[in-house]
Structure 1
Amino acid sequence: MLVPRLRRLLDLYTVRENDPVLAAAQFQALARQVLMLYVVLGLNAVVLAYAHYGLAPDWIVLGPPILLLLGIGGRSLAWIRLARRTSQEKEAFAQLRSVSLFTVIVGGFASFWSAMLYGYGNDASDMHVIFFLTVTVMFCMQCIAQLRSAAYILATIAVCFCIYFFMIGEPLVRVSIVNYFLVLIGSMVMQNFAYRDFCRLVDLTEENSRLALTDALTGLPNRRAFVARLEEAVTHATVTGGRFGVGLIDLDGFKPVNDSLGHGAGDAVLREVARRLEGAGLGWAARLGGDEFGLIVAEETDLDAVGRRICALLGQPYLLREGPAQIGASVGFARFPEAAASAETLVDRADFALYHAKSCRRGAAVCFAPEHEAVLRRDAAIEQALRRADLAVEFRLLYQPIVDAVSGRVEAYEALARWQSPTLGFVSPAEFIPVAERSRLIRDLSRVLLGQALDTMRDWPAERRLSFNLSAHDIAAPESVDHLAAMVVASGIDPRRIVFEVTESGLMRDLGDATRALTSLRALGVGIALDDFGTGYSSLSYLQRLPVDRLKIDRSFVIRCAEDETSLNIVRSILDLCRHLTLDCVVEGVETADQLLLLRSVGCRAMQGYLFHKPMPAAAIPAFEAAPPLWALPRGSRAAAAA
């Protein structure tokens, strides 16, 4: 029974290495206050020595304060050096123990010196000694209140000398000692309260810091924590010559789950993704925002194998309360130091690899490779040229006809952008459109090109329509949609002659905003076409929610329809879908007469492709319309007409 009580008592006088965060906070607090403690202690010692000079022997008056000043001077210089650098946890514990030890030495030395001075001189001199001891101890306890062990050590020393002075002192001294003892007890109680409040504040600060670095939904570290951890990894690997990988994970098909099953289901999917990533032990995982996650992988790990494991893991079904869900994942990796030597550039490289994965190998993992560097440089050159470009001068539109394959009548022309850069030469739309979207320059480009298209179609027959492509960024903001609508109204052209084409993949980024934007345009009277249908999510619920007038079947099905029965059946199914939903349907990529006949046999009418005509400048449209449609003639007549 006695031993546990003794152990608890000793705990009050020791620095225990059980709370690194508290130790760091104590160290920081002492670093701000200990210098003031040493200044006041030194001044009080000098004043006490001056008051007793000539009353007591010189070796008592001068020797101890000189030693005391040297000691606290050396400690002051040490604290100044420590305050200039960030202390690690072990160093903080060591300094706290040294403070407790120095408190024993200085407190005992100063108290013993004051006891040696007591009795020299008159009653006023003796009261000065008591005053030095009491006031200095009280102030020092205040300065080291955050380190309870040191404060208790100093209070214990003061109590011992209070007993000594009470035993040898005069009645007035005894009364003063009793009064001081009571004040000291009260100060120790208040110091204990202050210490507890300090500990609670440290705990609260630690909790707030933890919350600031934690994703509230999944419990994973957030983007801020990811960046900090990545910078630490780069610093460590730079010093040690190590290697590690950075991965960015983007969920494929998450938006459809969120939109069809609700946000609660989407949140459940994100929590399950976090659980799977943590449980797999593939690396240090974090949620960066939305449906994007980050991963820091240990050195010498096979990133391709990690990527395959992630894709397989996250591609497994999700059994939710709202119903089962299925998503996939695309992953981009970059390795330090091969891909980059800084945290920011590593993330950029991993992001490029992720973009490449989503564009070319959706549902797979791509590791940044040397050949990607050339693509990055090319994209950077394109972006710089885009930013310097005179959009109205350098960009032009070509027009490809959309025809009725039964009557041979031209229904509309799709406007297709082309860029002839003065510095880069001809730049393919497959190159400049993704760059324009990533750099947010696509909105300015779309407005310039729409203006050109509206000016061109003024010369067309009234029954001809314009089909114009919009990026997801064009409909992402209400002000952008309003600007496009204002351009249509200002042109004076019947809005019913205009069809805006949008892609499935672009709409799925935010189906809610896309629906509102397209509904606003649809109210103007323009048509809305869903481009590349069949290559994205193709959910019937989206067709129900979106204000769509027509579907455009992607050319990938047309190319294979003559040899692949499945592709032809997909085309046939989409045609049936359009008929039941009263939607128009356009088939893209028709290049041969055999494809034309086959597609027409299953009910296709509106078609587009090189068989009818390649994209042409606006000046060539009148001649095209005046000439007989060669594709509609028999083979022999077609050859003769062409000759």
Structure 2
Amino acid sequence: MVRLARLREALSVAEDDPDLVRSQLQAFSRQIPLIYFMLIVNTTAVAITHLGSAPAWLSIYIPVVLCALCVVRSARWWTVRHRVITDDQAAPELRKLIWLVGLFGVAFSSWSLLLFPYGTAFEQSQVAFYMATTMVGCVFCLMHLRAASLLLLSIVVLSFSGFLIFTHSPVFIAMAVDMTLVGFALAVIILLYYRTFAGVVHARRELQISQQKTQRLSDDNFRLASIDSLTDLPNRRSFFASLRAMSELALSTGDGFNVGLIDLDGFKQVNDIYGHACGDLVLQEVGLRLLELAEPGLFFARLGGDEFGILVQYKLSNEKLVELGARICEALSRPYRVAGNVAELSGTIGWAAFPEAGTTVAQVFERADAALYVGKEGRRGTPVIFSTEHETRIRRSSLVTQELRHADLESELFLEFQPIYDLFTHRPTGLEALGRWHNARLGAVKPEEFIRIAERTELILRITEILLHKALDEVSRWPCELYLSFNLSAIDISTSARARRLIDIVTQSGVPPHRVSFEITETAVTRDFEQAHSALTMIKQAGCRVSLDDFGTGYSSLSYVHRLPFDTIKIDRSFVTDIDSNSASKKIVKSVLDLCRNLGLECVVEGLETATQAEVVKTLGARAVQGYLFSRPMRASAVAAYLQTALAQADAVEAQP
């Protein structure tokens, strides 16, 4: 039973392994011309030698029909030799081929057996030789088709060996035995070869599966390395890879393209108010909106945080670029649903053109960043295209950065002081220290210029320490009732260690901490609210005072007033400029003054330049003020004379009846 099952398996088609069947057919397809060539040549040779000894129907007609069938089959093979066989077609095709081999085997064997009795012993030996050599050749051509080759071998060996045995000729009987043994050996060879062939096919399939898995893993890794997991946009790595490829192509073809950088305005406040989980949801929504705008040649990416990149793979005019930027900004400015509330954000875009703005990846990206910076300064929520004016800013910024890095800051930095004045006592109550820098090469550099660069390079830490030491040294010479107001940057309170360093400097100076008030802007607070809260609390616990500077110029000032340990709020000068004529400004200042009074905070009104303004804010309830009306910033050497004069004038006013 086991042997019968094995025989049945050997003569059957591997229906459950279509890949193996297809491989069998593909391998046999290459042998088809050879097998038909052997059949035509060998049959023609035997037929010619029997023309005079066998009847015409055996020596001419049947050989012609058999050879014609071989030619027809060869022609069909030629027409379909490049076809692709599917898994569904493979098994039926192989079964049809096995039947065809059986029919050809029966046909050629029958013709040989009918021809054998005619002619001399030499001609009979030729027929036996023809059967043996043709069988061996065809079997080797059919080696890949186990069932077909075994079927052909069985038909030829059984029919011809049986026929030779019944001739009762010792020679032919010996030939029959020899053919049977050779047939058995060929059968073993076929089975062994097929097993090896099937093993190779299976090994190749396993290798392909392994390669496919490896490729899928590689594709997954590439996706993880190239796609931002939060927004499904290409990430920073993918952005710069595309940017490099586009720049190389543009340089070789002479074409151009545009690069854009997007920064979300107000995103920091979403994180601080609603938490980072809600911030992530906003970023996901931004990604969806940008993907909706994507089109052939327009490529968006998330570069990190709330910064996104744009690549326009073709050159746009400035008008078209502004139009595209406005469309993107409009999409980003639509309200966002966050934790059941509505968040209002906007996007500012900086554009730069390649190669006009820069001929390298670094240059064009830097130019786009410069345009973005200009937009963030004064044109938030709009697109800004890089121009020569921005180029001048970049060169100036680069020069200032270089000089700042190599400057002798101890000797080049100095302070100017502007008094904080009491409208009721007519006396100065403190002085604000204002950092100044005079460089041998650049001359006097505006504070807003070098402070911004110092913050970007973290040189601000060194500058803060130097200026704080100088300021505290001056405070020791002032009357004890005067306090120092000193400005800090976001970098100065970005870690607890940096905040501790400020406290240590105050402690080591010998100046009582209550005479030192550190000013911080709302923008600096919003960079990292939790860290700012920790640092300012530490400063307050050390005995120093804390002031919120430029109140009203940020996004959510009121949300920070009650959450941070402020002692003082300074109303920005922008609300005072037209306070004597603008009722809205009066109401705003009055509201802030009332807020401070209710919260027990001191309030300083900045930017007073006229007596009328001073009278208005005094009427509104202001007491502490600051501005050019009382004094312009002065060098440290002029402070003593100013104080002497100011205090004398105050005494004189008090002495009046």
TM over 0.5: yes
Matched, 1:624 2:637: no
Which residue in 2 is equivalent to 1:296?
Answer: 311
Structure 1 residues 4-33: Cα deviation after superposition (integer angstroms, max 9, x where no partner): 999988976999xxxxxxxxxxxxxxxxxx
Deviation at 1:604, TM superposition (A): 0.7
Match of 1:370 among 354, 365, 388: 388
For 2:25 and 2:450, the matched residues in 1 are separated by 68
Matched, 1:614 2:627: no
The answer to whether the Cα contact below 8 Å between 2:23 and 2:201 also exists between their aligned partners in 1 is no
The answer to whether the Cα contact below 8 Å between 1:469 and 1:502 also exists between their aligned partners in 2 is yes
For 1:538 and 1:177, the matched residues in 2 are separated by 86
Which residue in 1 is equivalent to 2:240?
Answer: 227
Matched, 1:268 2:281: yes
Which residue in 1 is equivalent to 2:157?
Answer: none
Deviation at 1:403, TM superposition (A): 1.1
For 2:499 and 2:411, the matched residues in 1 are separated by 24
Structure 1 residues 300-339: Cα deviation after superposition (integer angstroms, max 9, x where no partner): 3322122222222211111234311111222111111111
Which secondary structure does the structure 1 equivalent of 2:576 belong to?
Answer: helix
Matched, 1:280 2:293: yes
For 1:161 and 1:14, the matched residues in 2 are separated by 11
Which residue in 1 is equivalent to 2:416?
Answer: 398
Query: What does residue range 497-512 of structure 1 map to in structure 2 within 5 Å?
Result: 497-512=515-530
Alignment CA distance shift 1:323-1:179 (3 Å): same
For 1:429 and 1:499, the matched residues in 2 are separated by 20
For 1:354 and 1:158, the matched residues in 2 are separated by 73
The answer to whether the Cα contact below 8 Å between 2:604 and 2:623 also exists between their aligned partners in 1 is yes
Which residue in 2 is equivalent to 1:444?
Answer: 462
Which residue in 2 is equivalent to 1:259?
Answer: 272
Deviation at 1:226, TM superposition (A): 0.8
Which residue in 2 is equivalent to 1:88?
Answer: none
What RMSD, in angstroms, separates the aligned Cα atoms of the two structures?
3.1
The answer to whether the Cα contact below 8 Å between 1:612 and 1:629 also exists between their aligned partners in 2 is no
For 1:365 and 1:510, the matched residues in 2 are separated by 27
Q: For residue 621 of structure 1, what is the amino acid of its counterpart?
A: V
Match of 2:144 among 133, 138, 159: 159
Deviation at 1:633, TM superposition (A): 11
The answer to whether the Cα contact below 8 Å between 2:24 and 2:145 also exists between their aligned partners in 1 is no
Deviation at 1:275, TM superposition (A): 1.1
Matched, 1:335 2:353: yes
The answer to whether the Cα contact below 8 Å between 2:417 and 2:634 also exists between their aligned partners in 1 is yes
For 1:623 and 1:234, the matched residues in 2 are separated by 63
For 1:535 and 1:386, the matched residues in 2 are separated by 29
Alignment CA distance shift 1:293-1:12 (3 Å): farther
Matched, 1:541 2:559: yes
The answer to whether the Cα contact below 8 Å between 1:162 and 1:181 also exists between their aligned partners in 2 is no
For 1:237 and 1:325, the matched residues in 2 are separated by 40
Deviation at 1:224, TM superposition (A): 0.8
Q: For residue 202 of structure 2, what is the amino acid of its counterpart?
A: V
Deviation at 1:171, TM superposition (A): 6.5
Deviation at 1:624, TM superposition (A): 0.8
Which residue in 2 is equivalent to 1:481?
Answer: 499
The answer to whether the Cα contact below 8 Å between 1:611 and 1:631 also exists between their aligned partners in 2 is no
Which secondary structure does the structure 1 equivalent of 2:230 belong to?
Answer: coil
Q: For residue 539 of structure 2, what is the amino acid of its counterpart?
A: L
For 1:521 and 1:11, the matched residues in 2 are separated by 80
Matched, 1:310 2:323: no
For 1:391 and 1:347, the matched residues in 2 are separated by 31
Which residue in 1 is equivalent to 2:596?
Answer: 578
For 1:513 and 1:619, the matched residues in 2 are separated by 37
The answer to whether the Cα contact below 8 Å between 2:520 and 2:548 also exists between their aligned partners in 1 is yes
Deviation at 1:188, TM superposition (A): 2.2
Alignment CA distance shift 1:532-1:487 (3 Å): same
Structure 1 residues 479-523: Cα deviation after superposition (integer angstroms, max 9, x where no partner): 222221221222122111111111111221221221122122222
The answer to whether the Cα contact below 8 Å between 2:142 and 2:149 also exists between their aligned partners in 1 is no
For 2:529 and 2:644, the matched residues in 1 are separated by 43
Q: For residue 390 of structure 2, what is the amino acid of its counterpart?
A: H
Unaligned runs of 5+ residues in structure 2 are 1-12, 27-83, 85-139, 154-178
Which residue in 2 is equivalent to 1:556?
Answer: 574
Which residue in 1 is equivalent to 2:89?
Answer: none
The number of residue pairs the alignment matches comes to 495
For 1:13 and 1:309, the matched residues in 2 are separated by 60
Which secondary structure does the structure 1 equivalent of 2:384 belong to?
Answer: strand
For 1:356 and 1:623, the matched residues in 2 are separated by 42
The answer to whether the Cα contact below 8 Å between 1:162 and 1:177 also exists between their aligned partners in 2 is no
The answer to whether the Cα contact below 8 Å between 2:20 and 2:202 also exists between their aligned partners in 1 is no
Which residue in 2 is equivalent to 1:513?
Answer: 531
Matched, 1:566 2:597: no
Matched, 1:435 2:448: no
Which secondary structure does the structure 1 equivalent of 2:290 belong to?
Answer: helix
More divergent stretch after superposition (211-220 vs 319-328):
319-328
Q: For residue 277 of structure 1, what is the amino acid of its counterpart?
A: L
Deviation at 1:363, TM superposition (A): 2.4
For 1:380 and 1:182, the matched residues in 2 are separated by 74
Alignment CA distance shift 1:618-1:239 (3 Å): same
Matched, 1:183 2:168: no
Q: For residue 534 of structure 1, what is the amino acid of its counterpart?
A: G
For 2:496 and 2:344, the matched residues in 1 are separated by 32
Q: For residue 196 of structure 2, what is the amino acid of its counterpart?
A: V
Amino-acid identity (%): 43
Structure 1 residues 186-222: Cα deviation after superposition (integer angstroms, max 9, x where no partner): 3322331221121111011101111111111111111
Deviation at 1:450, TM superposition (A): 0.8
The answer to whether the Cα contact below 8 Å between 2:418 and 2:433 also exists between their aligned partners in 1 is yes
More divergent stretch after superposition (221-230 vs 191-200):
191-200
Q: For residue 274 of structure 1, what is the amino acid of its counterpart?
A: G
Q: For residue 626 of structure 2, what is the amino acid of its counterpart?
A: Q
Structure 1 residues 401-423: Cα deviation after superposition (integer angstroms, max 9, x where no partner): 11111111211111101111011
Alignment CA distance shift 1:156-1:507 (3 Å): farther
Which secondary structure does the structure 2 equivalent of 1:316 belong to?
Answer: coil
For 1:633 and 1:340, the matched residues in 2 are separated by 64
Matched, 1:468 2:481: no
For 1:478 and 1:157, the matched residues in 2 are separated by 83
For 2:529 and 2:245, the matched residues in 1 are separated by 38
Deviation at 1:158, TM superposition (A): 6.9
Structure 1 residues 269-294: Cα deviation after superposition (integer angstroms, max 9, x where no partner): 11111111111237311111111111
Q: For residue 284 of structure 2, what is the amino acid of its counterpart?
A: R
Alignment CA distance shift 1:13-1:212 (3 Å): farther
For 1:589 and 1:334, the matched residues in 2 are separated by 38
The answer to whether the Cα contact below 8 Å between 1:476 and 1:513 also exists between their aligned partners in 2 is yes
The answer to whether the Cα contact below 8 Å between 1:612 and 1:631 also exists between their aligned partners in 2 is no
For 1:516 and 1:157, the matched residues in 2 are separated by 85
Alignment CA distance shift 1:542-1:628 (3 Å): closer
More divergent stretch after superposition (170-179 vs 253-262):
170-179
For 2:314 and 2:397, the matched residues in 1 are separated by 30
Which secondary structure does the structure 2 equivalent of 1:459 belong to?
Answer: coil
Alignment CA distance shift 1:191-1:479 (3 Å): same
For 2:253 and 2:549, the matched residues in 1 are separated by 52
Unaligned runs of 5+ residues in structure 1 are 16-96, 98-154, 638-643
Deviation at 1:358, TM superposition (A): 0.9
Matched, 1:348 2:361: no
Deviation at 1:630, TM superposition (A): 9.9
For 2:233 and 2:25, the matched residues in 1 are separated by 36
Structure 1 residues 421-450: Cα deviation after superposition (integer angstroms, max 9, x where no partner): 011111111211111112221111111111
The answer to whether the Cα contact below 8 Å between 2:350 and 2:371 also exists between their aligned partners in 1 is yes
Alignment CA distance shift 1:374-1:163 (3 Å): same
More divergent stretch after superposition (387-396 vs 208-217):
208-217
Q: For residue 411 of structure 1, what is the amino acid of its counterpart?
A: T
Which secondary structure does the structure 2 equivalent of 1:559 belong to?
Answer: coil
